[in-house]
């Protein structure tokens, strides 16, 4: 312990990465302070993954009630009470906020409420009070980015979607990324008339091309109107709602316009320039392989670095920093991270689960590849009356027989893909997949029963 400092580690940001780093460092005996200006838990707990998944569950009930008739259930479906859903979600999020606060308190972390600003390489100012720290960790996350255009003050971001009042009968979602697609699916399921607008040729840029087309088709079947290759020109409030003028000359009138056109690092007011911390594109904090910034005593993890913007990645990065600064747990080696084969899910209706390379990426990286695909109606829908189909796809590197890409569009895709991610991280080959016995009848077994490659 260095008496020249108030803390061994000072964390700015109480989201997933910041809380994990603070807790674990304190448990190793370090003196830790953490500054947070908003509710504990960050985007994921308050305005992202958790409330979004709860609303996704809520949105699935409408189709489940409808599908139940094919299984012999009769009677009218219940109706959604939007205010009850909002209140129940808020109560659960408040419970999680309390748990995060208690975890920090139990670990011995000093939590300071307020905005943390860097003064220099070892000093943080929070509401006029200055704290000296041997090391500082920046984990402030990101925020939605909304462009300026005529009427941009009339739109909302994903932050406001969970507490809209009243419920939007007509919703326009602008954007083609996973956040836009998820909210389009969720509010369509909850009963909104949803139009999704994207300036590109297809939604979910960066995902496998076949997955992109497949989910667009499935979302359209559920009732989402997808309009591609166009953008918003202007928005004005009228007696009938918000009139949105599009670049192609057409217009659409809605009650709410959600802009989900990307997120940027939350760096304004952090004092990065004063401390000499270098920034890159969109203000992202630049870090080396050990998450150290251009200032040796200052580190950064999670969305504020704009690398892989996923909660579990921020948690893993936080552990690398803690191990580097305070040593790993007894008998363990310091942790590192490989960014290969990070699984991810998109909670559209149906879900997407993916791990590894897209077909195009694999062809470019590995040269010769073999692709296996299956497109089918799930057993459930043989009676449900739904036309929903499932897509499953494997990409194999010919030279090694290793499975380098695995993609799924279908119910519970995230749950299914998580297990396969372990196998792929371990280097599983197609032969290993083929020799694995499937669980019957499940959709997941399709990944270990695909035998016929797609003809090139």
Q: Please list the alpha-helical segments (H only) found in 223-310.
A: 272-275
Which amino acids are annotated catalytic?
A: 440
Q: Strands 403-409 and 390-397: what pairing?
A: antiparallel
Could you give the CA distance from residue 442 to residue 446 in angstroms, rounded to a whole number? 8
CB atoms within 10 A of CB 384: 19
Q: What SS3 state is found at 179?
A: helix
CB distance 49 to 346 below 8 Å: no
Element of type H or E holding 61: helix 49-68
- Alpha-carbon Rg for the chain, nearest whole angstrom, is 24
Beta strands in 239-383 (DSSP E): 241-246, 251-254, 256-259, 263-265, 298-300, 344-346, 352-356, 369-376
CB distance 253 to 240 below 8 Å: yes
Torsion sign over Cα 167, 173, 179, 185: positive
* 84: Cβ contacts below 8 Å, ≥ 6 apart: none
Residue whose tokens read 């909210």: 183
The upper half-sphere exposure of residue 130, i.e. CA atoms within 13 Å in the direction of its Cβ, equals 8
CB distance 136 to 124 below 8 Å: yes
Q: Strands 129-138 and 403-409: what pairing?
A: unpaired
Element of type H or E holding 452: none
DSSP letters, 59-128, are HHHHHHHHHHGGGT--SPPP---HHHHHHHHHHHHHHHHHHHHHHHHHHT-EEEES-EEEEETTEEEETT
Could you give the CA distance from residue 173 to residue 153 in angstroms, rounded to a whole number? 15
The token pair that represents 111 in the structure block: 């939590």
Could you give the CA distance from residue 300 to residue 18 in angstroms, rounded to a whole number? 9
């Amino acid at each position: 312990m260095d008496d020249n400092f108030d803390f061994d580690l000072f964390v700015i940001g109480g989201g997933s990465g910041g809380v994990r780093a603070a807790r674990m460092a304190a448990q190793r005996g370090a003196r830790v302070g953490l500054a947070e200006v908003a509710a504990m838990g960050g985007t994921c707990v308050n305005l992202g993954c958790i409330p979004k998944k709860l609303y996704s569950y809520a949105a699935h009930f409408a189709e489940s009630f409808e599908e139940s008739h094919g299984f012999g259930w009769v009677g009218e479906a219940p109706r959604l009470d939007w205010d009850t859903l909002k209140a129940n979600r808020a109560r659960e999020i408040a419970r999680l906020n309390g748990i995060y606060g208690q975890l920090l308190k139990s670990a011995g972390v000093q939590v300071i409420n307020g905005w943390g600003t860097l003064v220099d390489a070892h000093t943080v100012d929070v509401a006029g009070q200055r704290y000296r720290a041997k090391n500082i960790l920046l984990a402030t996350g990101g925020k939605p980015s909304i462009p300026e255009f005529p009427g941009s003050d009339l739109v909302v971001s994903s932050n406001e979607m969970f507490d809209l009042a009243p419920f939007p009968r007509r919703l326009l979602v602008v954007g083609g990324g996973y956040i836009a697609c998820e909210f389009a699916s969720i509010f369509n399921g909850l009963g909104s008339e949803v139009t999704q607008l994207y300036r590109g040729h297809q939604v979910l840029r960066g995902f496998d091309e076949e997955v992109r087309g497949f989910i667009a088709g499935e979302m359209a079947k559920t009732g989402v109107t997808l309009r591609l290759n166009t953008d918003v020109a202007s928005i004005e409030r009228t007696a009938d709602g918000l009139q949105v003028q599009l670049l192609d000359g057409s217009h659409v009138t809605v009650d709410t316009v959600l802009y989900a056109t990307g997120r940027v690092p939350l760096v304004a007011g952090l004092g990065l320039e004063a401390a000499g911390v270098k920034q890159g594109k969109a203000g992202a904090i630049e870090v080396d392989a050990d998450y150290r910034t251009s200032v040796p005593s200052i580190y950064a993890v999670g969305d504020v670095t704009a690398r892989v913007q996923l909660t579990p990645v921020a948690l893993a990065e936080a552990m690398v920093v803690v191990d580097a600064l305070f040593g790993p747990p007894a008998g363990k080696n310091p942790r590192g991270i490989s960014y290969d084969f990070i699984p991810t899910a998109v909670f559209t209706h149906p879900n997407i689960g993916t791990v590894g390379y897209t077909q195009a990426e694999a062809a470019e990286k590995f040269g010769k590849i073999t692709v296996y695909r299956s497109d089918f109606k799930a057993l459930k829908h043989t009676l449900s009356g739904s036309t929903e189909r499932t897509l499953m796809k494997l990409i194999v590197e010919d030279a090694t027989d290793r499975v380098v890409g695995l993609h799924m569009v279908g119910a519970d895709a995230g749950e299914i893909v998580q297990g396969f991610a372990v196998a792929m991280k371990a280097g599983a080959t197609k032969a290993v997949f083929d020799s694995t016995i499937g669980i019957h009848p499940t959709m997941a077994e399709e990944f270990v029963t695909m035998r016929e490659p797609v003809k090139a």
